[in-house]
Structure 1
C-alpha cells in the first residue's frame, strides 16, 4: 500500500508526535528541553505556524499545531532536523535521533480540538508511573501556562482554546476541564495505535476526502479516514452499490453472472484499501490462491487507465464505501 499522503491546507490543525529511535531518551535534562522549545519558537517565527499546545516527555513529544500557510512538512523538517543537531552537540554524539517520519493527525476544529488539548496536557499523569501528582507541577508542558501558574512562551497561542471552551474564568475553567479526564471516544481513537490520521466527525472526514484527495490519491488516504474498514465491510459496501446480494460477489459463478464486474471491483478495493494479503482476499472470494486476485485487480487497473467512464465509476464507488463505513 502506498505511503499515506500528508493532507495540508491553510489553517489546518494537527496533533504531531514523534519519539526517539528504539524509544531512546530525547530529553535528558533541562538543557535539552529548553533547546527544543527554542527550536519550536524559531519554527513559529520562520514558518508562521501557530502552536496551541505542547508536552515534552522524556522519549517523545506532542504538539498541537495550526498551519496558516499549509506547510506542516517544512515546519517539522526544521523542528526535527535542527533539534537533532542541537541534541548531538549537547550529547557529543552524531546520527539520527528520531525513529523516522513524525506522526501527524489532522484534527477538526471545535470540540475535537479542545479534547485533544486536554489529551496532550494530561500525558504526564496518564503513564503507568505518573511523573507528577499535580499536572501544574510538570514544567515541560504548556498546561501550567494555560492555567496561569507559569509564564507562557511568547509563541504559545492560548486564546483560541479559551474561546472554544467559552467561559469568562478561563484559567479555572480550563483547569477544571483537564482535571475532568479524557474523553472516552478520544481514548478509544488513540488506543487503536493511531492507525487513523484524521480526528473528527464523519462529515469532516468526508469533506477532507472530497476536497483534498484526488482520484489518484483517494485510495491511499481513505484507510486513514476510516480505519475500521475490513474485507467484509468493503464487500458489503460494493454489493450495496451494485444492488446485488453479497453472495454474487463472493461465490464463484458459472452462470449468467460469470465475470460479474462488481466481484472484480470488490477484489480491487480489498487490495487497494487494506493491508490484507492476497491469500486472505482470495479466501473471501472462494479462490484457490492469491495469484487469481492479483490477475483480476491488474485487469481493473488497466481498465481504469484506459476507460475514463470506468475510472469515474471507481471514484463513485470509493466515495460510497467511505459513506457506508462512516
Structure 2
C-alpha cells in the first residue's frame, strides 16, 4: 500500500516528531544533545560557495529533545518539510554513526508531521512540546528540563544564543501569560502527535481512568501493574480494544511498553 501523502501546511508551519529507529535512544550523553542543537543551528546558517549568507532553511519556534525522540515546531522557508527535515537527520546520523562506530539508520524512516494553521493550535503545541518531560515524569516542572526551548522563552538563554524565534509568540502575549499556560498541564483529551503508531490516541487519559474505575473498581491506574499477570493482561487488552494507545497505557498503568506491545500483537 502506498504511503499516505503528508498534509501540507498553508502557513508553512509544522509540528514534527522524530524518533529513534526501533525506538532506540538517540541521545546517550550531553555531547549528543549538544550536537543535535548544533545541527539545528546549522540549518539556520547556510552559505553559498562564495561564503555569502543564504536564507535559513527553516525557522524554529520550539523544540524538546527527549532520550529517544524529538519534537519540533518549525516553519519551512525554502524546501518542503520532507527535504528540510532530511538535512537535519542526515547531519545528526553522520555524527552519531561515527561516534558509536555503527552504520545505517538512526531515525525511524518516516517521521511524523502535522500542519499548524492557526494561532490557537500553535500555542497548544508550545504547551505540549515543553510539557513532554513533565508528562514523562522526568522532571517536576517545565523549568527543570534542560534540553528544550523553554529557557529561550524565559530569557535564561539569551536571544542571541538561542535557536528559536520566540518573538513570534511573545509579541502576541506577555511572558507571564505564556508561563501561566505552559505551567498548567494540558487536559488529558488534548491530542497531538504521539509515540504510538497511530497519529492520535483515540481516547483520553480521563476516559481510561474512568473505565478502570467503572469496570474494575480501580481508583489508581498504576495499581494495574501490581495485579496478577492474567488479570493485568485482561485489563490491558480491554483498554487497547477501547482505543487506548500503547505508550498511553504504559504511562498510566506502569506496565512496560514491551508487555503491552506483545499483548497487542496477540489481538
RMSD: 2.3
Normalising to structure 1: TM-score of the pair?
A: 0.53
Normalising to structure 2: TM-score of the pair?
A: 0.64
Q: What is the match of residue 134 of structure 1? A: 141
Q: What is the match of residue 97 of structure 1? A: 106
Q: What is the match of residue 155 of structure 2? A: 148
Q: What is the match of residue 53 of structure 1? A: 62
Cα deviation code 1:4-60 (max 9, x no counterpart): 223446741111011111211100111100111111111123343110000000010
Secondary structure of the equivalent of 1:187? coil
What is the aligned counterpart of 1:180 among 169, 179, 184? 184
Q: Distance in 2 between matches of 1:99 and 1:35?
A: 19
Q: Distance in 1 between matches of 2:8 and 2:40?
A: 19
Cα deviation code 1:165-223 (max 9, x no counterpart): x23xx2x3222111111145523785985536xxxxxxxxxxxxxxxxxxxxxxxxxxx
Q: How many residues align?
A: 190
Secondary structure of the equivalent of 2:60? strand
Q: Give the conservation status (yes or no) of the 8 Å contact 1:8–1:70.
A: no
Instruction: Give the C-alpha shift of residue 114 in structure 1.
Output: 0.4
Q: Distance in 2 between matches of 1:116 and 1:61?
A: 13
The 1:137/1:147 distance shift into structure 2, 3 A limit, reads same
Q: Distance in 1 between matches of 2:97 and 2:79?
A: 30
Secondary structure of the equivalent of 2:72? strand
Gaps of 5+ in 2: 47-55, 201-267
Q: Give the conservation status (yes or no) of the 8 Å contact 1:121–1:141.
A: yes
Cα deviation code 1:75-127 (max 9, x no counterpart): 11111111001111222222211121111111122111000111000000101
Instruction: Give the C-alpha shift of residue 61 in structure 1.
Output: 0.4
State the structure with more CA Rg.
1
Secondary structure of the equivalent of 2:63? strand
Q: Give the conservation status (yes or no) of the 8 Å contact 1:10–1:68.
A: no
Greater helix share, structure number? 1
The 1:190/1:155 distance shift into structure 2, 3 A limit, reads closer
Gaps of 5+ in 1: 197-326
Q: Give the conservation status (yes or no) of the 8 Å contact 1:9–1:70.
A: no
Cα deviation code 1:248-279 (max 9, x no counterpart): xxxxxxxxxxxxxxxxxxxxxxxxxxxxxxxx
The 1:188/1:156 distance shift into structure 2, 3 A limit, reads closer
Q: Distance in 2 between matches of 1:69 and 1:183?
A: 35
